[in-house]
Amino acid sequence: MIDLRSDTVTRPGPQMRAAMAAAEVGDDVFGDDPSVLALQERVARMFGHEDALFTPTGSMANQIAIQLLVPPGDELLCEVNAHIPGHEVGAAAVIGGISTRTFSDFAAIPAMIRAGGGYVVPTRAIAVEQTHNAGGGTVIPMSTLERLRALADARGVALHCDGARIWHAHVATGIPFSTYGAIFDTMSVCLSKGLGAPVGSLVIGSAERMQRARLLRKRMGGGMRQVGVLAAAGLYALDHHIDRLAEDHVRASRLAKALEPWSRWGGTNIIYLDNVDAPALVAQARDKGVLVGASGPREVRLITHLDVDDAGVDRAADVLLTILGAQ
């Protein structure tokens, strides 16, 4: 099967598995797993922050980060199709007691920020997603992020980056990770998507915030023990799988071009097919050996990754074109 449902379906290869088997481990709840400590230090340094915290999932990393920035009852602003408000099953409200409002245009943000007082909920933070999944893997321009940082500073609010695929933004633009890191108060980054590790994300921020983050992680059941076997996979991925993301971008470009006029591609590894019979397309493609995901009744998502080579992309294009031509 050619699996284009997500880049989360990647499996660790033999060399990554060997690194996991050889990992030096300790008890991470006690803070003495050397592989975890090495991963956290490295990722924090990459983004120019003081510290980082390893978490089992990206959703947990996001929820920890926004709880660090927004007290219960106060407000987080998010883009309307972002992962935090739409795909984390209401965790901001249920776990953090955080109120959210959404915007569809960055230009709308200044008028949405509220100082609070009386019966008004104060805005404490703004979250952005880099790259933007629902936007077709688009990269938010640095100029936009810099304007947002200036606005946040002027209005006294914090910025969080859901950077699950920020690795792709770096590869697509050449902008250093530290330049992205300088924009945000907290970040989350994912190891188990394009980088191909089996599990894991990290929260990034100040040393003081990461001390509290450990408490929040434990509260949500994320305290892990000899988890260095997973941290080792992340370290291997950072060494070997960042630059190769460019291959996924090239393959996504070729697939998007082959599937015009249905395709919408944002320049990295995510493609959307619009105005299609999504359930029928998913079922028929599966019968022909290609797995894709419906993101709506008329929309299908395809994501390239390290487990799909050139031949797989070409085969998927032929299958999908045949189905689309018959719809």
Give the model confidence (pLDDT) of 65-84 as tens digits: 999 999 999 999 999 999 99
Where residue 289 falls (left for φ over 0; alpha for ψ -120 to 50; beta otherwise) is: left
Residue 207 · residue 50 · CB < 8 Å: yes
Q: Which pLDDT does position 284 carry in this prediction?
A: 97
Q: What is the percentage of the chain residues whose pLDDT exceeds 70?
A: 100
Query: What's the mean pLDDT in 33-48?
Result: 98
Q: pLDDT grade, residue 222 (50/70/90)?
A: very high
Which amino acid is present at 266? G
> Which of 144, 195, 143 lies closest to 165 in space, CA to CA?
195
Residue 42 · residue 194 · CB < 8 Å: no
Dihedral, 259, 262, 265, 269 alpha carbons, nearest 10: -50
If one counts every other C-beta atom within 10 angstroms of the C-beta of residue 287, the result is: 10
Query: What's the mean pLDDT in 6-23?
Result: 97
Does the reported pTM lie above 0.85? Answer: yes
Same fold, 12-240 and 244-326: no
The domain defined by 12-240 folds into: Aspartate Aminotransferase; domain 2 (3.40.640)
Query: What's the mean pLDDT in 161-168?
Result: 98
Query: What's the mean pLDDT in 246-267?
Result: 97
DSSP strand E in the chain: where?
A: 2-3, 51-55, 75-79, 99-103, 123-129, 158-163, 186-190, 201-205, 263-265, 270-274, 290-291, 293-296, 299-303
Q: Which pLDDT does position 253 carry in this prediction?
A: 98
Q: Which pLDDT does position 211 carry in this prediction?
A: 97
In the predicted model, what is the mean pLDDT of the chain?
97
First-to-last alpha carbon distance for the chain, in angstroms, is 22
Q: Which pLDDT does position 326 carry in this prediction?
A: 75
* pLDDT-wise least confident of 116-120, 224-228, 312-316: 116-120
Domain boundaries, the chain: 12-240, 244-326
The domain defined by 244-326 folds into: Aspartate Aminotransferase, domain 1 (3.90.1150)
Q: What is the percentage of the chain residues whose pLDDT exceeds 90?
A: 97
Q: What is the pLDDT of residues 268-316, one digit of tens each?
A: 999 999 999 999 999 999 999 999 999 999 999 999 999 999 999 999 9
Q: Is the dihedral of CA 20, 45, 128, 155 positive or negative?
A: positive
pLDDT exceeds cutoff 80 at 327: no
Q: pLDDT grade, residue 118 (50/70/90)?
A: confident
pLDDT exceeds cutoff 90 at 152: yes
Q: Which pLDDT does position 10 carry in this prediction?
A: 96
Q: pLDDT grade, residue 155 (50/70/90)?
A: very high
Q: Which pLDDT does position 325 carry in this prediction?
A: 87
